[in-house]
């Protein structure tokens, strides 16, 4: 699923709903699972990544066929992830959103973070993007409630 700067990626499929991706160079692990009702995809990341890694992971996710028509949102759990991104990377994510508007217009994207450094990036994208529904959260529960429409 994720391509990390064209380095070796190890994939382990545990079952249909849970997949773990590990990159030995950056020591990053990404696990992907669906909620019980298959309406929310949850991506949990641990380690350190750069923006090109994130960009490539979104491209792969969009083209992978893992996203079904009943999907209402994606929760990115980045609480154990060190984001190595800069303000210049915002334009690249906005370009990705524009290029894939048909995908982004139908889902909500929640980003769960627990550090001030990691919350800045999703906050900027939330404010600038007119097309994507993206919002940062500090808990999985709040993110899931937002994706389901329980809270604004």
Listed residue (88, 143, 142, 139) closest to 110, CA to CA: 143
Across the range 85-101, mean pLDDT stands at 83
13 has a pLDDT exceeding 80: no
Work out the pLDDT band at 21, boundaries 50, 70, 90. Answer: low
- Would residue 2 count as lying in a domain? no
* Mean per-residue pLDDT, 3-16: 36
Q: How confident is the model at residue 50 (pLDDT cuts 50, 70, 90)?
A: confident
pLDDT of residue 81: 87
Instruction: Report the alpha-carbon distance of residue 16 to residue 32 in Å, rounded.
Output: 10
Q: What is the pLDDT of residue 143?
A: 96
Contact by Cβ (8 Å): 135, 110:
yes
Question: Considering the domain boundaries, does residue 84 fall inside one?
Answer: yes
CATH of the domain at 96: 3.30.750.24
Q: Closest Cα partner for 31 from 65, 69, 81?
A: 81
Residue 1 resides in a domain: no
38 vs 73 pLDDT, higher one = 73
**Residue 41 domain-assigned (yes or no):** yes
How many domains does the structure of the chain reveal?
1
Whether 58 maps to a domain, the answer reads yes
Residue 53 lies inside a defined structural domain of this protein: yes
* Coil, helix or strand at residue 106: coil
| Burial environment of residue 95 by CB neighbours within 10 A (0 to 12, 13 to 18, 19 or more) | exposed
The pTM (predicted TM-score) of the whole model is 0.79
Q: Which residue range is the domain that position 89 belongs to? A: 9-148
40 close to 34: Cβ distance less than 8 angstroms: yes
Model confidence at 100: pLDDT above 50: yes
Distance CA 35, CA 67 (A): 13
* 4 lies in some domain: no
């Amino acid at each position: 699923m994720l391509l990390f700067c064209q380095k070796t990626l190890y994939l382990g499929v545990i079952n249909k709903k849970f997949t773990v991706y590990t990159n030995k160079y950056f020591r990053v692990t990404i696990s992907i699972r669906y909620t019980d009702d298959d309406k929310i995809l949850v991506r949990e990341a641990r380690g350190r990544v750069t923006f090109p890694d994130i960009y490539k992971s979104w491209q792969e996710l969009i083209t992978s066929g893992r996203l079904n028509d009943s999907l209402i949102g994606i929760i990115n759990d980045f609480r154990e992830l060190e984001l190595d991104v800069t303000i210049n990377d915002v334009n690249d994510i906005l370009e990705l959103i524009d290029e894939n508007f048909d995908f982004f217009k139908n889902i909500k994207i929640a980003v769960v973070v627990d550090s001030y450094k990691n919350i800045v990036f999703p906050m900027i994208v939330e404010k600038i993007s007119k097309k994507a529904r993206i919002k940062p959260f500090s808990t999985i529960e709040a993110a899931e409630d937002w994706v389901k429409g329980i809270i604004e």
